[in-house]
Amino acid sequence: MAASKVVAAPRRRDDRTTVPRADAGGGVPPRRRDDRGVAWLFLAPVLVGFAVFYVYPTALGVYYSLTDYGMLSEPNFVGVENYRELVDDDRFWNALKVTGYYVVLNIVSQTVLALALATLMHRLTQSMAMRAMLLVPWLVPNVTVGLLWMWMLDANLGFVNHALRAVGLGTTGFLTSPDWAMPTIAGINTWAYTGYTALLLYAGMLQIPRHLYESASLDGAGEWRMFTRITLPLLRPVLALVLVVSLIGSFQIFDTVAVTIRNAPAGVTRVIYYYIYEQAFTNFRMGYASAIAVVLALLLGVLTVVQMRLLRASRSDLA
Amino acid sequence: MTRTGFSPGRIAAWALLVVAVAATVFPFYWMVRTALTPAADIYTDAAGLLPERPTAINFLRVLGLTSREEAREAGGSGAQVDFLRYLLNSFVYCGLITVIQTQCCAMAGYAFARLRFPGRDVVFGVLIAALMVPPIFTLLPNFVLVKNLGWLNTFAGMVAPSVLMTPFAVFFLRQFFLSIPREVEEAATLDGVSGWGMFWRVVLPMSRGPLITIGLTTAVWSWKDFLWPLLTGRDEETRVLTVALGIFQQQSPNTQPDWTGLMAGSTLTVLPVLALLVFLGRRLVESLNFTGIK
């Protein structure tokens, strides 16, 4: 079932180059086909959407980053002025730092937990019901997740503090404490995305041939040994992909912060997405916000290149 | 399964798994439990697993089914909220994007996979490159664009950037169409089916699985969407659930948020996806195998 689909997946990447070549040769009518009429008809909606809402805005975004633009008057070209200001902008560097802190916390906790969860499922149960339940937090809007945990963690009435008090521990205003706010937000999103990540890793584990575990077991290997010697090495390509995809995803944290930031200490939770939002729509500095967006795009571009590298380097593992 | 029986290790492993599921589900239980508690009771009745005096009033008041006075008496701030309308708006927003985007991307995916025309691979390559551009980058200019078109606070403006396409859906569906055996089309060609008809009468009916998969993924993401609809659909007429929750939170008095109302509203954002999970759970879970690992 699911496993066979996954097995087919890595091969797909090559199709782009092989299939058109097969067209020119093999089982096609001898005359040269040209479907350009009907093809452009099929493509029309997508190409319109792409040109108007992807290509044009991308160019426009770069242009805005070189202007002073308050949305009320026309953009005024200022060259690299925005970027020069960015270098000296403490809030920008702080936002990068806060985001980096969040990304590290979130990725580490999420990956470790998801790996543990996926392994437990893989070695114990195929239960679809369990998998479905683990997926629920991912299906729910981040706004809901943020509010739900604000309530769970409320300093006076929240369930978590009730529980802490019940076992004799002091209460904490998790989201209002400068030290705890960002780790708490990282924890909330770990809760929201671990199940999803675990299911991705689980799908990867299903690709590992079962007989490897059986023969290892016959040789007297314990579960930990099987995990470190079979699961982890063979999962590496999938793990690398999932890791970098969630890495890039967590750089773009916004919703959870936007909901919980109201009572959070100033600056401590101002992540890069929020800073862009604030500059554009609170301070009406569209040009400056665009410059930050350009920097973020470049940063994510670098991460994507690293991702490609990782994937190619790990391909040989897929025996 | 390599080992059976009840070794201590296995019992511990099962216990961990059960704890993980409980930790996943419990906050949702607590959300519903709070939504069913009278606002006046949240100070006195805060830790019991069941509310002492369960009530549906919070749902009624956030759905706009009570009068202002009744709502204020039940703990609301008196601000008018109408989650029934926001729920409907969410369905419209989500439905438009899911249906039209899936359809348009299927058409394009088919053209890229099966039709021959000059420039095909170049166009496809450019499209895929767009996967690298982070959403916030196009979000700012798109907002200006939608604003200049006079489309703020209209569904047209809210769905415009995503309703026609997303590069990933085109990519995903193209991959599937490439895997359909050529013989199918050749047989249909002999029967006199070609071009346009081939897509509608032969290829689409064969592709229900992947279409549902990509449609589900699109539906989930647009259901969760917050920032874009916040910028373009703030008005009552177009406000979706996520935006409504954010605004509702800010409207509640500064001293103490209207928790019971907020949790009732939050529950409304969870129920539809829960229904989706109940009816299409297997498909949804398995779709991760497709879309997640590409």
Going from N- to C-terminal start, the domains of chain B cover: 8-73, 83-251
Q: Name which of A98, A61, A96, A55 is nearest A82 in CA terms.
A: A61
ipTM of this model?
0.91
Q: Name which of B80, B18, B134 is nearest B70 in CA terms.
A: B80
Give this prediction's pTM.
Answer: 0.88
Between chains, do A300 and B132 touch, taking CB under 8 Å as contact? yes
> Do B118 and A35 touch, CB atoms closer than 8 A?
no
Nearest to B21 among A2, A5, A130 (CB): A130
A54: which 2 tokens?
């992807």
Q: Which residues pair with A77 in a beta bridge?
A: A67
Q: Yes or no: is domain B83-251 CATH 1.10.3720.10? A: yes
Q: How far apart are the first and last CA of chain B?
A: 28
B243 contacts: CB under 8 Å, gap ≥ 6: B86, B226, B229, B230, B233, B234
Q: Does A297 touch chain B (CB under 8 A)?
A: yes
Nearest to B133 among A58, A252, A289 (CB): A58
Residue of B nearest to A255 (CA): B226
Label residue A265 left, alpha or beta by phi (over 0 means left) and psi (-120 to 50 means alpha): beta
Residue of A nearest to B137 (CA): A293
Alpha helices in chain B (DSSP H): 8-35, 57-62, 68-73, 83-114, 120-129, 135-148, 155-163, 167-179, 182-190, 195-197, 204-206, 208-224, 227-232, 241-251, 259-291
Between chains, do B47 and A159 touch, taking CB under 8 Å as contact? yes
> What is the Cα Rg of chain B in Å?
24
Per-residue pLDDT tens digits for A264-278 = 777 889 999 999 999
Going from N- to C-terminal start, the domains of chain A cover: 92-311
Q: What is the mean pLDDT of chain A?
A: 85
pLDDT of residue B35: 94
Distance CA A236, CA A314 (A): 7
Distance CA B222, CA A141 (A): 9
Between chains, do B290 and A196 touch, taking CB under 8 Å as contact? no
Per-residue pLDDT tens digits for B102-157 = 999 999 999 999 998 999 999 999 999 888 888 888 999 999 999 999 999 999 99
Between chains, do A199 and B292 touch, taking CB under 8 Å as contact? yes
Q: Average of pLDDT values for B8-15?
A: 90
Between chains, do A43 and B294 touch, taking CB under 8 Å as contact? no
pLDDT of residue B79: 67
CATH number of A92-311: 1.10.3720.10
Chain B contact set for A57 (CB, 8 A)? 137-138, 140-142, 145
Interface of A with B in 217-276 (CB under 8 A): 217, 223, 238, 241-242, 252, 254-255, 258-259, 262, 273, 276
Distances, alpha carbon B17 to alpha carbons A24, A52, A119, A123, A308, in Å? 53, 48, 10, 11, 33
Q: Does A295 touch chain B (CB under 8 A)?
A: no
Per-residue pLDDT tens digits for A76-89 = 999 999 999 999 99
CA distance A16 to chain B (A): 8
Nearest to A36 among B117, B144, B281 (CB): B117
